[in-house]
Structure 1
Amino acid sequence: MTARIHLWSDYVCPFCLIADEVIERAVRGRPDVEVVHHPHELRPRPAATLRPEDPYLPDIWQRAVYPMARRHQVPMRLPTVSPQPYTESAFRGAQYAAEHGRAGAYHRRVPAAFFRDDLDIGDHAVLVRLAAEAGLDPTGYAAALDDPEYAERHRRALAESARLEITVVPTLVIGDRRIEGVASESVIRRALQEAVAA
Structure 2
Amino acid sequence: MTKQIHVWSDYVCPFCLIADEVIERAIEDDADVEVVHHPHELRPRPAPTLRPEDPYLPDIWQRAVYPMARRYGVPLKLPSISPQPYTDLAFRGAQYAADCERAHAYHRRVMTAFFREDLDIGDRSVLGRLAEDVGLDPSGFDRALDEATYTERHRQALADSASMDITVVPTIVIGTRRIHGVAAEGVIRRALHETAVA
Taking structure 2 as the reference length, the TM-score comes to 0.99
2:69 is matched with: 69
1:196 is matched with: 196
Moved over 3 A (4+): none
1:86-101 to 2 correspondence within 5 Å?
Answer: 86-101=86-101
1:115 aligns with 2:115: yes
1:24 is matched with: 24
Deviation sequence 1:61-90 (CA, Å, 0-9, x none): 000000000111100000000000000000
1:187 aligns with 2:190: no
1:35 is matched with: 35
C-alpha displacement of 1:34: 0.4
Aligned to 1:84, the other structure's residue is in SS state coil
2:150 is matched with: 150
Give the Cα separation in 2 of the matches to 1:81 and 1:49: 11
Aligned to 1:35, the other structure's residue is in SS state strand
Give the Cα separation in 2 of the matches to 1:143 and 1:31: 34
2:15 is matched with: 15
Give the Cα separation in 1 of the matches to 2:118 and 2:176: 37
1:133 is matched with: 133
C-alpha displacement of 1:29: 2.3
C-alpha displacement of 1:164: 0.1
Q: How many residues align?
A: 198
Give the Cα separation in 1 of the matches to 2:126 and 2:37: 21
C-alpha displacement of 1:30: 1.3
1:178 aligns with 2:184: no
Give the Cα separation in 1 of the matches to 2:29 and 2:128: 30
Same amino acid, percent of matched pairs: 74
Supply the RMSD in Å over aligned alpha carbons: 0.4
1:58 is matched with: 58
Amino acid aligned to 2:122: G
Deviation sequence 1:23-62 (CA, Å, 0-9, x none): 0111102111000000000000000000000000000000
Deviation sequence 1:94-127 (CA, Å, 0-9, x none): 0001110101110110010000000000000000
Taking structure 1 as the reference length, the TM-score comes to 0.99
Unaligned runs of 5+ in 2: none
Aligned to 1:116, the other structure's residue is in SS state helix
Give the Cα separation in 1 of the matches to 2:100 and 2:179: 29
Aligned to 2:173, the other structure's residue is in SS state strand
C-alpha displacement of 1:13: 0.1
Give the Cα separation in 1 of the matches to 2:32 and 2:26: 12
Aligned to 2:38, the other structure's residue is in SS state strand
Give the Cα separation in 1 of the matches to 2:110 and 2:25: 18
